[in-house]
Amino acid sequence: MQQIFNFIFKNSILLLFLLLLGISLSLVFQSHYYHRSRAVTSANAISGYTYEKINDVEQYFSLKEQNDKLATENATLKQLLYNSQDTIDIPIIQKPQGLDNFTVIQSKVISNSYNNYENYLTINSGTNDGVKPDMGVVSSLGVVGIIENTSKNYATVISILNLKFKLDAKIKDSNHFGTLKWDAKNTGYAQLTEVPRLASVKKGDTIVTGGRSVIFPENIPIGKIENIFRDTKTNYYTLSVRLFNDMTNLDHVYIIENKDLQEIRDLEARTGDE
Amino acid sequence: MNSTVIGNISRFVLLMAAQILVFNKMELFGYTAFPYILYILLFPVNGNKAVLLITAFFLGLTQDIFLNTSGPHAAACVCLAYFRPAFFRFSFGISYEYQTIRINDRLTPERFSFILISVVTHHLILYLLELLRFSLIIGTLIRTVATTAFTLILCITIIYLIKPGKQ
């Protein structure tokens, strides 16, 4: 017993070092395997508050630009509104209440990273505003990311520019599906992989979210095809997609909640069990 | 509370604030620098090792929280804090504890080699952990070299800026 105590006293620094190293390494690998429950995120009161205060100052630098963006978006929406008046003769189908699938929450990016392999955004709405993990985040131009962690007033978003990010997307005109990923090379581009060779693709085609995604509604714009690569082994196309969003400069974003998400997930889990 | 403790605490807070407010947002050719590890380098040579280890862990963890990276900074900081005496011995000779080493003074080859080996170790561990997870070898190597150079330049500049004036 005496010897054990002696050993502990003699090597206390080494043991402390190993303990702290063990904790930090377990944080690293825990986030690798269970990435929906990371312990260390900036969605907490202290870092969220700090980022919000920093953003309070920073937002003035891009105020004019953000105003222009919102005005452009308003103009687009107005155009939609005026042009749909012709269809007034068509009887409106009254849906029973509670059948609207999607609700939209307005929010603001307070911190944005884009030069790592796993990039995250921090936004200033959390569970108090009804934000939950696995909701989609879009800006006026297109898809931004998916909510990962939430606290009371803040949430972190997995950005498109993240190696963990995967999204079901399709080519707008031909309806051929693929998986959108990022290859960690350029902040302006993402890759649409596993597009079948049957698909007729050409440069400049628009890529939108697909109908198989339960997180995003269908037909939200993502980007334009910039380059087409043919995989010789697998008979699939890999398309280089130029994103509509400038991911390095984001401010106002919208969070989309799919009300049926839980039901769909439950159903899928039950089907998988059997 | 003596002046060393107050000095350490204020260094911790100031370096962390500078890292979060300025250096995390500053980028050169798309790479950021991490001069916050100066806290570990400037910790008193004969200071309590356990205190250094624990504060280094929380230093790294704070950076991890703000960067949304989970863990690598904490691991790298703890390793750097643990191997610091070995680096002192390597750079200043075997009898370093009896000399009065001041890191924040004129840049001599010994001081430079100490700062260099510390920064390289920290960044190597940081990106080794990244490499284990993503296996993008060439990209990670380029990042390590670029960030190391950037951090080294910033560390030396900061030491020069805060070095106490000669009496």
Task: Inform me whether the C-beta atom of residue B110 falls under 8 Å from chain A C-beta atoms.
Answer: no
Sign, Cα dihedral of A71, A76, A77, A79: positive
Number of inter-chain CB pairs under 8 A, A vs B: 94
Distance CA A123, CA A107 (A): 7
Indicate the pLDDT class of residue B156, thresholds 50, 70 and 90. confident
Fold category of A167-243 in CATH: Thrombin, subunit H (2.40.10)
Does domain B3-162 correspond to CATH entry 1.10.1760?
A: yes
Pick the closest to residue B148 from B94, B89, B76, B85 (CA basis). Answer: B76
pLDDT at B167: 40
pLDDT at B132: 74
- Chain A residue nearest residue B28, CA to CA: A115
- Among A8, A21, A187, the residue to mutate for chain B (most B Cβ within 10 A): A21
Task: Inform me whether the C-beta atom of residue B31 falls under 8 Å from chain A C-beta atoms.
Answer: yes
CATH topology identical between A47-82+98-163+249-259 and A167-243: yes
User: Do A156 and B64 count as a contact with CB atoms less than 8 A apart?
Assistant: no
Model pTM above 0.90: no
Task: Inform me whether the C-beta atom of residue B75 falls under 8 Å from chain A C-beta atoms.
Answer: yes
Phi and psi torsions of A116, nearest 5°:
-110, -175
Distance CA B41, CA B55 (A): 12
Query: Would you kindly state where each structural domain of chain A is located, as residue ranges?
Result: 47-82+98-163+249-259, 167-243
pLDDT at B155: 87
pLDDT tens-digit series, residues B115-145: 899 999 898 888 888 777 666 777 778 888 8
Tell me if residue A222 falls in helix, strand or coil: strand
Nearest by CB to B78, which of A17, A115, A118?
A17
B84 exposure class (CB count in 10 Å sphere: 0-12, 13-18, 19+) = buried
A47-82+98-163+249-259: CATH number: 2.40.10.340
Q: What is the pLDDT along chain A (274 residues), one digit of tens a residue?
A: 788 888 887 888 888 889 998 988 888 887 766 555 667 777 788 888 888 888 888 888 888 888 888 898 889 888 888 877 665 566 666 666 656 678 889 999 998 888 888 888 999 888 998 888 888 999 888 899 999 888 888 999 999 988 888 888 888 888 888 899 888 888 889 988 888 888 788 888 888 888 787 888 888 889 999 888 887 777 788 889 999 888 888 888 999 988 888 888 888 888 866 5
Task: Inform me whether the C-beta atom of residue B85 falls under 8 Å from chain A C-beta atoms.
Answer: no
Task: Inform me whether the C-beta atom of residue A52 falls under 8 Å from chain B C-beta atoms.
Answer: no
- Among A9, A28, A181, A248, the residue to mutate for chain B (most B Cβ within 10 A): A28
pLDDT tens-digit series, residues B6-57: 888 888 999 899 888 888 888 777 788 888 988 888 888 878 888 899 999 9
Query: Would you kindly state where each structural domain of chain B is located, as residue ranges?
Result: 3-162
Task: Inform me whether the C-beta atom of residue A55 falls under 8 Å from chain B C-beta atoms.
Answer: no
ipTM at complex level: 0.80
Pick the closest to residue B76 from B154, B146, B131, B149 (CA basis). Answer: B131
**Does the pLDDT at position B166 exceed 60?**
no
Chain A partners within 8 Å of B70 (Cβ): 27-28, 30-31, 38-41
Contact A207, A173 (CB under 8 A): no
